[in-house]
Amino acid sequence: MNGPLVQLIAGFSDRDFTAIFSALLVIVLLLLVCFPVHEFAHAFVATKLGDDTPRLMGRVTLNPLAHLDPFGSLLFLIGGFGWAKPVPVSIYRLNGNARTSAALVALAGPASNVIMAVLFATLYRFAAILFPLSNTLLAGMVFQALSTAVFLNMILALFNLIPIPPLDGSRVLAALLPDQSARFMDQLERYGFMILILLVVAIPSLLGQLVTGPAVDITRLLLGF
């Protein structure tokens, strides 16, 4: 699995402008938009629910430097799979039921990506009305940028909803399970990252069925294809 940096280098080698633009677009959108907004949403909701840990750690910001994990970003650039720095949250400082509030904090990340996907899709449809028959290079770049933004945000939203720790879906599932099962989810978290890597590397088709395929379908629906 090649990441966008590998594709960028290949594009320069082949003098393929389309490949170069596509790779740069993915890098900019994911590292400077999708990841930071996703983590900011976690931090913002946690703060609103009473936990000031994200604020004290400087995470209630859209500054990408506050959210990007160096190793996770490098792995994404090379291998196409990566992550941002998780927002630190003390669930027992959250107002209300701890697990329910933690689930709301967890849902904020994927929800922010869905909202961005809808916003970018709206811009795409608006641009399509303004330039319905345009074949210019600039128009093509705008349409590609907007459609890629929709797709990447849906990928990030759906991937994070997988109920495997430390992904956001595990927090949501824990809030729905009985206490004993929820405690098992807590214990599973120490192995969650290894399980996740194993799934991505060993069973990529499963990831395609759970994430990529649905993301493509939703993207086409949002864009009106």
The parent domain of residue 172 ranges over 4-223
Task: State what percent of residues in the chain have pLDDT above 70.
Answer: 95
Task: Tell me how many domains the chain contains.
Answer: 1
Q: What's the whole-number mean pLDDT along residues 142-151?
A: 94
pTM check: above 0.75: yes
State the average pLDDT for the chain.
Answer: 89
Q: What tokens appear for 193 in the block?
A: 């990252």
Phi and psi at residue 84, to the nearest 5°? -100, 175
Which residue numbers are catalytic?
39
Cβ-based neighbour number of residue 137 at 10 Å: 10
Rounded distance between C-alpha atoms, residue 165 and residue 83, angstroms: 13
The predicted pLDDT at position 182 comes to 64
What residues does 24 pair with on adjacent strands?
none
Of 203, 196, 213, 113, whose CA–CA distance to 162 is shortest? 196
Rounded distance between C-alpha atoms, residue 141 and residue 121, angstroms: 15
The predicted pLDDT at position 89 comes to 94
Residue type for position 55: R
